[in-house]
Amino acid sequence: MKRLLLIRGAELALFALLATVPLLVANAYALALLTLLAIYGILLIGLDVTVGYLGQINLGHVAFLGLGAYAAGIGVTRFGLGMPSALAAATAVGLVLGSLLALPALRLEGPQFALATLSFTALSFTFLNEMEGLTGGAQGLSLTRPPLFGHDLSPQGFYWLCTVLLACVWMIMRNLLSSQWGRAIEALRDSPIATDAMGVGVYRHKVAAFALGSALGGLAGGLYAFNFQYLQPQSFVYDLMVILLMGVVLGGRKSLWGAFVGASIVVLLPNLLSNRLIFQAVSGLGLLMALVSGIRGLLRKTTRPFQALAPIVSMGLLVGGGLLVANTEDWRKGIFALMLFSVVVGLPEGLMGFAARFLVRLFRVAPAPLPAPSSLDEVLPSRPADGSTLLELIDLKRHFGGVKAVDGLSMTVRSGQIHGLIGPNGSGKSTVVNVISGLYPPSSGRMLLRGKPLPLGSLYRAARSGVARTFQNLQLFSELTAIENVLVALNGVYRSPLPLVLLGMARAEERHARADALALLELMGLKDQARTKAKDLTYGAQRFLEIARALARRPDLLILDEPAAGLAHPDVLQLIETIRRVHQRGISIILIEHHMDVVSELCTVVTVLDGGRVIAEGSPEDVKRHPKVVEAYLGQTDRDREAAAPDAPPLPA
Ligand code: ADP
Ligand code: MG
């Protein structure tokens, strides 16, 4: 409660302050800066969707600002649009062009994506410059701000309009990003493979996120046009693009407040810097503070030398540079660069990330309370296990070049069974899982789930048809907490239509989902770590979390790929117990295991692979005595002794 009051209270206070400033200070220049601040706030919230949440370097945002601005400008001058329809047109241009750019570009990753968006910026500049008939080319485009519903807006009125729009965008984005949708785009940043395997389409979420960010860029562009009432193509190129990116990184990624702080820096700092005397005094004071706190930290051994030295050096450079550089413009750029460098090195979470941690401690804010877990009967209702055929693999093959990883495998999994799949390293077990779950299409052969063909080569569609899996090489959403990892996969809870989610009216559903996720964590013995980030869990806990996440799909068939690999003995015992409990609820399981004892303990039927083929099948007791199995496993122990071979090739990213 206190947490909610503080956070919402701070938001209310911010907007109340923004709304009343023009009443308190009647200064045209200050009003112009504040208007720009609101516009850039919207712009940076949009940019943060790709840079922060998707984790991609987006160099195309400035183009959407420009295209939105021109769309509004041309709409007003050529087509006589009013303000609302011109702003809608600007947003639509961002949305449509954003989707079109996203479709091809988001198949790319990292530097290639950055280059694709960079070329989009170059192209849109050329377009605006060359289409003189429409845009006025390099001459620029002048427009007058149209009235809003018949009222001519004063500068003050226009500022309020921008602030109201910023508040709306803020609220909508807050609701959206904290919903299932926002978690999905964070999940896909950490592991696209697992996101698809949990039945959450990676590509559609990426495209939608990029289009949404671009739409906000377009909206900001429309406001930009009405603010300056004069547009030139060269305003929307590299300089501004770099400044915008810097704003997001400085302010703090993945945070609305961060975007706002970033916008304030971008808008206000150049003006603050114009008074060099004041700035020199401030940076001198900063140097003094860095010196004092650095030396104190070193003496008390609470900071490492690098941590103490970095702020001293950067403040020293500020003071020294200020004395040396005469040209004010150069000086400003230098300070921006230096600030960016120090924040990237010293505060990787940005100013807001740093401030948030500080404020949480100052106000002793407790994390949001978790609901009581749902009952397990509700989350995983028991199903009858009738022993009917669940999964049929018929002459399945998967070759990698010359490697026949799976080479004509036929096997039948019956409903309600724990079906063991064993075999020496490299015998093709993981490849079977990868083919069933759709990571790879089979080279040939058929797969039927309850008599219906399984989708081939699509993790997403295989997951949707009832298959859930874990990964031999863990694929968790490492930056998300344990409970969020489970929530991403949770199936059949989220039903509210998008408009309700945007308005924040899907809270009951979210509470219900959390209770369900918590029940699954409890089943895995992870309830107390619900709020720990996946990457901070112990290795054993991470393995259990993958199972909890797969169970959240409420699957017909659960495939566990070496769940005991690397576990300590007590954890193996707990694992056996947990798998048994999951099985008791009627979930059919394929268990891939290296340890014969785990298999004997749990499985009713075991299929043994060697060289991608079945060499034996039957009860654990029978296959253990089978001569071919004995031979395969003895060979394996020899091989293991020769070289501690790595377990399996890493999955392609
Ligand atoms: P297991 O899980 O039984 O240890 P795998 O299914 O991981 O075995 O591997 C079976 C064989 O297929 C190995 O020889 C392995 O090198 C090969 N293999 C598996 N995945 C790939 C891949 N993506 N590309 C090439 N070879 C692969
Ligand atoms: Mg394997």
Name the closest ligand to CA 472: 2
CA of 434 to the centre of ligand 1 (A): 10
| Ligand 1 atom having least distance to the Cα of 562 | 2
Ligand 1 atom 5 nearest Cα: 428
Domain assignment of residue 601, yes or no: yes
Cβ-based neighbours of 354, under 8 Å, separated by 6 or more:
252, 347
**To test ligand 1's pocket by mutation, which of 430, 440, 591 has the most ligand atoms within 8 angstroms of CB?**
430
Q: From residue 633, give the alpha-carbon distance in Å to each of 223, 300, 427, 528, 615.
A: 71, 58, 11, 40, 12
Residues 338 and 412 in one domain: no
Residue 531, φ and ψ in degrees, nearest 5: -100, 5
Name the closest ligand to CA 427: 1
| Ligand 1 atom having least distance to the Cα of 428 | 6
CA of 647 to the centre of ligand 2 (A): 6
Residues 301 and 320 in one domain: yes
Domain count, the chain: 3
- HSE of 460, CA atoms in CB hemisphere, 13 A: 10
- What three-state secondary structure class fits 89? helix
CA of 112 to the centre of ligand 2 (A): 32
Predicted pLDDT at 469: 96
Q: In the predicted model, is pLDDT for residue 367 greater than 80?
A: no
Q: In the predicted model, is pLDDT for residue 642 greater than 70?
A: no
Q: From residue 182, give the alpha-carbon distance in Å to each of 42, 186, 215, 544, 647.
A: 18, 6, 17, 24, 34
Name the closest ligand to CA 471: 2
pLDDT band for position 151 (cuts 50, 70, 90):
confident
Domain assignment of residue 428, yes or no: yes
List pLDDT tens digits, range 499-554. 888 888 888 899 999 999 999 999 999 999 999 999 999 999 999 999 999 999 99
Contact present, 236 and 62 (Cβ < 8 Å): yes
Q: In the predicted model, is pLDDT for residue 120 greater than 50?
A: yes
Q: Which residue type does 93 have? A: V
Predicted pLDDT at 420: 95
CA of 611 to the centre of ligand 1 (A): 10
pLDDT band for position 436 (cuts 50, 70, 90):
very high
Domain assignment of residue 625, yes or no: no
- Name the nearest CA neighbour of 94 among 59, 123, 62, 125: 62
Indicate the helix (H) or strand (E) that contains 399.
strand 389-400
Ligand 1 atom 15 nearest Cα: 426
Domain assignment of residue 641, yes or no: no
Find residue 398's DSSP bridge partners. Answer: 406
Residues 147 and 185 in one domain: yes
| Ligand 1 atom having least distance to the Cα of 433 | 6
Name the closest ligand to CA 405: 1
pLDDT band for position 332 (cuts 50, 70, 90):
confident
Residues 135 and 256 in one domain: yes
CA of 422 to the centre of ligand 2 (A): 10
| Ligand 1 atom having least distance to the Cα of 401 | 25
Domain boundary among 251, 271, 291: 271
Contact present, 236 and 124 (Cβ < 8 Å): yes
389-400 vs 403-414, strand pairing mode: antiparallel
Token pair 């495998």 in the structure block, residue: 409
**To test ligand 1's pocket by mutation, which of 398, 399, 431 has the most ligand atoms within 8 angstroms of CB?**
431
Distance of alpha carbon 564 from alpha carbon 594, whole angstroms:
8
List pLDDT tens digits, range 479-501. 999 999 999 999 888 888 888 88
- Name the nearest CA neighbour of 582 among 519, 532, 533: 519
Name the closest ligand to CA 428: 1
Domain boundary among 314, 336, 369: 369
DSSP-assigned letter for residue 151: B
Distance of alpha carbon 219 from alpha carbon 90, whole angstroms:
6
Could you tell me the end-to-end alpha-carbon distance of the chain, in angstroms, rounded to an integer?
A: 41
Residues 126 and 81 in one domain: yes
Predicted pLDDT at 648: 42
- Counting residues of the chain whose pLDDT is more than 70, the rounded percentage is 97
Predicted pLDDT at 164: 96
CA of 452 to the centre of ligand 1 (A): 27
Predicted pLDDT at 614: 93
Q: In the predicted model, is pLDDT for residue 640 greater than 70?
A: no
CA of 430 to the centre of ligand 2 (A): 4
Q: Which residue range(s) make up the domain with 350?
A: 273-369
Predicted pLDDT at 649: 45
pLDDT band for position 650 (cuts 50, 70, 90):
very low
Q: Which residue type does 219 have? A: L
Distance of alpha carbon 221 from alpha carbon 97, whole angstroms:
14
Other Cβ atoms within 10 Å of 232 Cβ, number: 18
Residues 296 and 343 in one domain: yes
Distance of alpha carbon 426 from alpha carbon 444, whole angstroms:
20
Distance of alpha carbon 454 from alpha carbon 483, whole angstroms:
30
Domain boundary among 215, 236, 271: 271
Q: In the predicted model, is pLDDT for residue 276 greater than 80?
A: no
* ∠ CA 438-439-444, rounded to 5°: 65
Please identify every residue whose CB atom is under 5 Å from ligand 2, which is an ion.
429-430, 472, 648
pLDDT band for position 645 (cuts 50, 70, 90):
very low
Cβ-based neighbours of 445, under 8 Å, separated by 6 or more:
393, 394, 395, 396, 397, 408, 409
Name the closest ligand to CA 435: 1
CA of 438 to the centre of ligand 1 (A): 15
Contact present, 350 and 260 (Cβ < 8 Å): no
Q: Which residue type does 111 have? A: P
Other Cβ atoms within 10 Å of 452 Cβ, number: 9
Task: Give how far the C-alpha of residue 8 lies from the chain's centroid of Cα atoms, to the nearest Å.
Answer: 24
In the chain, helix, strand, coil percent, each to 5? 65, 10, 25
Q: In the predicted model, is pLDDT for residue 238 greater than 90?
A: no
Ligand 1 atom 27 nearest Cα: 400
Distance of alpha carbon 575 from alpha carbon 588, whole angstroms:
16
- Name the nearest CA neighbour of 55 among 129, 106, 89, 99: 106
Which is more confidently placed, 413 or 347?
413
pLDDT band for position 382 (cuts 50, 70, 90):
confident
> Of 14-28, 189-203, 314-328, 407-421, which range is least confident?
314-328
Sheet holding 613-618, edge to edge: 467-469, 557-561, 588-592, 418-422, 605-610, 613-618
CA of 504 to the centre of ligand 2 (A): 44
Query: Dmax over Cα atoms in the chain, in whole Å?
Result: 93
Residues 538-549, buried b or exposed e (16+ Cβ, 10 A)? eebbbbbbbbbb
Please give the structure tokens belonging to residue 423.
């075999």
Predicted pLDDT at 559: 96
Other Cβ atoms within 10 Å of 398 Cβ, number: 22
Q: In the predicted model, is pLDDT for residue 419 greater than 70?
A: yes
Ligand 1 atom 22 nearest Cα: 400
CA of 187 to the centre of ligand 1 (A): 26
Residues 341 and 264 in one domain: no
Total length of the chain? 653
Predicted pLDDT at 637: 54
CA of 584 to the centre of ligand 2 (A): 26
- Counting residues of the chain whose pLDDT is more than 90, the rounded percentage is 56
Predicted pLDDT at 653: 39
Q: In the predicted model, is pLDDT for residue 458 greater than 60?
A: yes
Q: What is the mean pLDDT of residues 469-477?
A: 94
Q: In the predicted model, is pLDDT for residue 181 greater than 60?
A: yes
List pLDDT tens digits, range 555-612. 999 999 999 988 999 999 999 999 999 999 989 999 998 778 889 989 999 999 999 9
The CATH code of the domain that includes 15 is 1.10.3470
pLDDT band for position 337 (cuts 50, 70, 90):
confident
**To test ligand 1's pocket by mutation, which of 193, 396, 398, 400 has the most ligand atoms within 8 angstroms of CB?**
400
Residues 339 and 448 in one domain: no
Distance of alpha carbon 647 from alpha carbon 594, whole angstroms:
10
Which residues line the pocket of ligand 1, CB cutoff 6 A?
A: 400, 403, 405, 423, 425-431, 648-649
Residues 237 and 329 in one domain: no
Residues 337 and 465 in one domain: no
